[in-house]
Amino acid sequence: MFFDPRPSGAEVAVSGEPWQSRRTPAARRRAAHDFLSLPVIGSDVQTRAVMCWNAEKDVAGLISAQFNSGLLRPRDVPEFKGAGDALAHGFFAWVKRHTPRMHCLGFNFVLCDVQAVLEAVQYQEDRSDFNPTSPVYLGIEIAEENVFEIGRRAAELRNIHSRLVSTAMVLINRAAGRTIWVRTPDEFLGEFASWFWDGDSQATDEEAREMLTDRFGEDEAEIEHYLPSVVRPQLCPDDMDVYRWHAKSRRYLPQRALGVSALRRLQRFTSGRTRRICAELEKLSLVLQRVGNRDLFGCEYRPQCAYAAATLTVQNDSRVGEVLDSHYEHLASAGDGTTYYGFTPLASAPEAIRRQYANWSQGLSILGQLDRVIACLAA
């Protein structure tokens, strides 16, 4: 038997070395935190003792509940090295079973304890809004920017139906809103407007010229380069803007996508790549109808993520590079940019666990279909 008077949360590990007090024990008494009834263990004997303390009970209980739910399989754990290792093996085996093959979307899942999340969000302006509700979190990490040009394919779709491009943009944004961020052309326009048109993406040339003159003086060539009539077709043509300004109601309203029946009719009159795009958009529309407006990954806290899982541009030119560089520089100067899109607390109650994994499964299914749509548009 042994006893350790150290504070709860410490860990003792013996591995090939004797573990005993450095103090000389009083006559006929051993130190309170030495082995009480065993002789000193020689260095040639490989031993390891680990003591679990109350601080780990919440984590161990949550991990046990995850496996007891029946969603994680014990057989996916090759050997038991600890509760955290078992959860990692079981969880990522589940992810592998439910994740379709993807070619465009780039993201990773990361299991984090609370301390890791706190370190990741410590420089966020709203970090005080993060109040941990679970000892373990699922982090969604986006480590780089994947940029895809869709301008050439969009021109072909316009010749088939005037609303086909806007339908693709609306459905892509709906899917991203329920899963993981995808940067679309309207965001480039909004970012550009915030830098050069005082945040008004609907500014006219006359309105923008006044602001640009304050910035560039009388350099007419420079001003022309930043006018809305020049920039909008390059960054976000009208049919790629998901929201449109309605002067009568004086507010932005979302564009409406073609319905499933219209997409099916288009498939009958098209062929090749265009027909496939219509088919993939139909499938995406159907899976989105089944999930409603839920946030399927249930992120409790979203920091300022620098990258998107995919970035769609009319063409990947110097104008796009200028906007992205400004975006990265702003996050770097503010100090709150991160590669984490969000953090989701792992559930511990049986019903909540089943509901959470069902949502994640639907989210991965939507991402798989979204990936196929993007692949078609970027081909």
pLDDT tens-digit readout, 254-279: 888 999 999 999 999 999 999 999 99
Residue at 230: amino acid letter: V
Residues 154 and 293 reside in one and the same domain: yes
For helices 57-68 and 350-378, the axis angle rounded to 10 degrees is 70
Residue 50's alpha-carbon distances to 2, 81, 262, 301, in angstroms, are 11, 12, 64, 34
- The tokens for 345 are 């607390």
Helix (H) or strand (E) holding 92: helix 83-98
Residue 85 included in any domain: no
Give the closest residue to 328 by CA, choosing from 183, 174, 172: 183
Residue 55 DSSP symbol: G
Residues 197 and 307 reside in one and the same domain: yes
Q: What is the pLDDT of residues 177-228, one digit of tens each?
A: 999 999 999 999 999 999 999 998 889 999 999 889 988 888 888 999 999 9
Residue 255 to residue 110: CA distance in whole angstroms: 35
The count of structural domains within the chain is 2
Residue 315 included in any domain: yes
Mark out the alpha helices in 292-349 (DSSP H runs): 318-334
Residues 167 and 284 reside in one and the same domain: yes
Residue 221 to residue 234: CA distance in whole angstroms: 17
Beta-carbon contacts of residue 321 (< 8 Å; ≥ 6 apart): none
pLDDT at 40 over 60: no
Beta-carbon contacts of residue 262 (< 8 Å; ≥ 6 apart): none
The confidence score (pLDDT) of residue 55 equals 40
pLDDT at 14 over 90: no
Q: What is the pLDDT of residues 44-70, one digit of tens each?
A: 444 333 333 344 778 889 999 999 999
Residue 293 included in any domain: yes
Residues 228 and 368 reside in one and the same domain: yes
Give the closest residue to 132 by CA, choosing from 146, 153, 118: 118
The confidence score (pLDDT) of residue 246 equals 72
Residue 117 included in any domain: no
The helices-and-strands tally (H runs, E runs) of the chain is: 13, 10
pLDDT at 25 over 90: no
More reliable by pLDDT, 28 or 282: 282
The confidence score (pLDDT) of residue 80 equals 83
> In the chain, pLDDT over 70 holds for what percent of residues?
85
pLDDT at 336 over 70: yes
- Contact (Cβ atoms closer than 8 angstroms) between residue 172 and residue 303: no
The confidence score (pLDDT) of residue 149 equals 97
Q: The whole model's pTM is what?
A: 0.82
- Report the sign of the C-alpha dihedral through residues 283, 287, 290, 294, in that order: negative
Residue 142 included in any domain: no
Residues 237 and 358 reside in one and the same domain: yes
Residue 153 to residue 378: CA distance in whole angstroms: 7
Alpha carbons within 13 A on the beta-carbon side of 18: 11
- Contact (Cβ atoms closer than 8 angstroms) between residue 364 and residue 100: yes
Beta-carbon contacts of residue 44 (< 8 Å; ≥ 6 apart): 16
Residues 165 and 291 reside in one and the same domain: yes
Residue 57's alpha-carbon distances to 54, 64, 258, in angstroms, are 5, 10, 52
Residue 154 to residue 273: CA distance in whole angstroms: 12
More reliable by pLDDT, 15 or 315: 315
Residue 194 included in any domain: yes
The confidence score (pLDDT) of residue 18 equals 35
- Report the sign of the C-alpha dihedral through residues 168, 169, 173, 179, in that order: positive
Residue 344 domain boundaries: 147-378
- The tokens for 195 are 């830098």
How buried is residue 210: exposed, middle or buried, by Cβ count under 10 Å (0-12/13-18/19+)? exposed
